[in-house]
Amino acid sequence: MVENENLVQGRTGQWEVIIGLEIHAQIAAKAKLFSGSSTDFGSDPNTQVSFLDAGMPGMLPIINKVCVDQAIKTGLGFHGHINEISVFDRKNYFYADLPTGYQISQFHYPIVTGGYIDIELEGKPSKRIAITRLHLEQDAGKSIHDLHPDFSYIDLNRAGMALMEIVSEPEMRSPAQAMAYVKKLRSLVRYLGTCDGNMEQGSMRVDANISLCRPGEPFGTRAEIKNVNSIRFLGQALDYEIYRQLEILEEGGAVVQETRLFDPVKGETRSMRGKENAHDYRYFPDPDLKPLVVTQERIEAIRATMTELPDDKRNRFQIDYGLSDYDANVLVAEKEIADYYETVVKAAKSQDTKQAAKLIANWLIGEVFGAMNRESLSIHQLPFPSSHLAELVDLIMDGTISGKIAKDVFVKMWTTAKSPADLVADLGLQQISDTSVIEAAIDQVLKDNADKVDDYKSGKVQLFGFFIGLIMKALKGKANPGLVNDILKSKL
Ligand code: ADP
Ligand code: MG
């Protein structure tokens, strides 16, 4: 990963990295953009193809209202301007998986213009990335070249599916920022329910434009890395590309504007084709489709259906629960996690709500996420009910068990159906807060180590921890640590 956030050091001085992303997000809808064919994932090839999708002559496109609403909702989600009039154009090109010979897209008049997304990078203030536009367009079919040595296959199930192409301004300055942008956008569309965001299934694909220039100088020539389908690959592709361009520029050469592909096996990008220009596509308004008109009423009706979005949720979590920036961002990134968190917070009975909420956040981000990762589980697959996590935190809050013992209880929670309270009772794990018991243990330890006590009194204060260790051991780790500390101090 490139270390310096903004500048890359070369032999001949520093370079600034300029990145702009075009993201294709498949719209979550039952039918395609202009036909009634199903959009289910993973069906048999060519089973979801209407005459229109297959490019049969005389077929007329009919706009799917749901897809338009989804695009509007997404635009509102990133604070864009929804255009009351937008126009569908034909983008003409010939390819085997495009039976019509053109893709219906929006070129001059997209449905959404402007907007922004705030991205978060660990330990840094958030950065605002401007969005240029969102337009609606059809997806193409799929060519399959690796099933037969002599033939290529065509699957048209994807042909005509609705895509939102979301174009950013060239405002990202590092691979980390580009990755954070995709993460945030994916989180947003998932919250909105406008795209499932499953990159590995191709529902979200990233074209990354990247160039280098001297700080303060005009932007350099860019290369475009096409169809990156994971956030990790995006980071790797951009890292590779930075050093490829850096080498060319420092040798005094020129970067060619071209389309490149990332090879995840080699970790390299390679040239795919020279950059085509817009005029090559001979865009013109599709004569089968009237301009798309959306009324303010419709826009407001869609706005009214929107639930709390990640940024608002994060702000509320920070105010209501006193969470740090980092914790709040981690918890709101996925709506399922945020909902789970709030369920646990509401179930906890502790009087000090904020303290309990913070403790629950720590447990969720630490122990629970750790175990989920180890066992490859999602939040819905946890082997204990959310009420048990609330109960565990309550037991810590009311002093029944220490945080350390709670970790042992947590491990048992995974493997038994028992509640934390039952586990604590069954295993006799209650914290010892009876001062007479603690005092007796302390007296014994001090008596057995009289020489060390003398050393302590003559200035070797670091022995305090040594005594604590022995006392805790004598009480099997169950003594209330605060009490042990206080009593030991007074006795010494
Ligand atoms: P095109 O339509 O040819 O793809 P655009 O001007 O629409 O070109 O830009 C496409 C993407 O490339 C946008 O995301 C934009 O931010 C980005 N971009 C434009 N110029 C540069 C540059 N010099 N370096 C990096 N990215 C750039
Ligand atoms: Mg482009």
Find the CATH number of the domain harbouring 445: 1.10.10.410
On whether both 14 and 87 belong to a single domain, the answer is: yes
DSSP assignment letter at 19: E
Percent of the chain predicted with pLDDT > 90: 78
Last residue of some domain: 303, 326, 359?
Answer: 303
Whether residue 277 is predicted with pLDDT greater than 80 in this model: the reply is no
| CA distances for 319 relative to 93, 316, 324, 328, 373, angstroms | 53, 5, 10, 10, 29
Nearest ligand to the C-alpha of residue 277?
1
C-beta 22 within 6 A of ligand 1: yes
pLDDT of residue 275: 67
C-beta 209 within 6 A of ligand 1: yes
Measured in whole angstroms, the distance separating CA 247 from the mean position of its chain's CA atoms is 32
Last residue of some domain: 303, 322, 346?
Answer: 303
On whether both 200 and 333 belong to a single domain, the answer is: no
Query: What is the Å distance from ligand 2's center to 206 Cα?
Result: 11
Which ligand 1 atom lies nearest to the CA of residue 170? Answer: 16
Whether residue 98 is predicted with pLDDT greater than 90 in this model: the reply is yes
Which ligand 1 atom lies nearest to the CA of residue 21? Answer: 14
On whether both 288 and 400 belong to a single domain, the answer is: no
Question: How many structural domains comprise the chain?
Answer: 3
On whether both 443 and 296 belong to a single domain, the answer is: no
On whether both 117 and 259 belong to a single domain, the answer is: yes
On whether both 281 and 321 belong to a single domain, the answer is: no
C-beta 20 within 6 A of ligand 1: yes
C-beta 8 within 6 A of ligand 1: no
Among the residue ranges 81-95, 123-137, 419-433, the one predicted with the least confidence is 419-433
Whether residue 152 is predicted with pLDDT greater than 60 in this model: the reply is yes
| CA distances for 366 relative to 122, 321, 362, angstroms | 16, 17, 6
Average pLDDT of the residues in 90-104: 95
Last residue of some domain: 264, 282, 303?
Answer: 303
Exposed e or buried b for every residue in 34-61, given b needs 16+ CB within 10 A? bbebebeeeeeeeebbbebbbbeeebeb
On whether both 279 and 296 belong to a single domain, the answer is: yes
Pocket test for ligand 1, best of 22, 205, 238, 241 (most atoms within 8 A of CB): 22
Angle, CA of 20, 220 and 180, to the nearest 5°: 25
Query: What is the Å distance from ligand 2's center to 20 Cα?
Result: 10
Mean pLDDT of the chain: 93
On whether both 450 and 411 belong to a single domain, the answer is: no
Q: Which pLDDT tens digit goes with each residue over 291-306?
A: 999 999 999 999 999 9
Q: Considering the entire predicted model, what is its pTM?
A: 0.88
Whether residue 4 is predicted with pLDDT greater than 60 in this model: the reply is no
pLDDT of residue 3: 44
Whether residue 2 is predicted with pLDDT greater than 50 in this model: the reply is no
Q: What is the CB neighbour count within 10 angstroms for residue 265?
A: 5
The kind and range of the H/E element at 358 are helix 353-363
pLDDT of residue 278: 63
Which ligand 1 atom lies nearest to the CA of residue 220? Answer: 23
Whether residue 276 is predicted with pLDDT greater than 80 in this model: the reply is no
Query: What is the Å distance from ligand 2's center to 22 Cα?
Result: 7
On whether both 334 and 407 belong to a single domain, the answer is: yes
On whether both 365 and 456 belong to a single domain, the answer is: no
Nearest ligand to the C-alpha of residue 110?
1
Of the pLDDT bands very low, low, confident and very high (cuts 50, 70, 90), residue 1 is: very low
Nearest ligand to the C-alpha of residue 278?
1
Q: For residue 345, give its domain range.
A: 310-427
On whether both 16 and 67 belong to a single domain, the answer is: yes
Query: What is the Å distance from ligand 1's center to 209 Cα?
Result: 6
C-beta 167 within 6 A of ligand 1: yes
Average pLDDT of the residues in 128-149: 96
Exposed e or buried b for every residue in 390-423, given b needs 16+ CB within 10 A? bbbbbbbbeebbbeebbebbbebbeeeebbbbeb
Which residue reads 């008109």 in tokens? 293
DSSP string, 166-178: EEE-S-B-SHHHH
C-beta 222 within 6 A of ligand 1: yes
Pocket test for ligand 1, best of 131, 133, 182, 209 (most atoms within 8 A of CB): 209
On whether both 107 and 218 belong to a single domain, the answer is: yes
Q: How far is Cα 82 from Cα 75, in angstroms, rounded to an integer?
A: 7
Which ligand 1 atom lies nearest to the CA of residue 219? Answer: 23
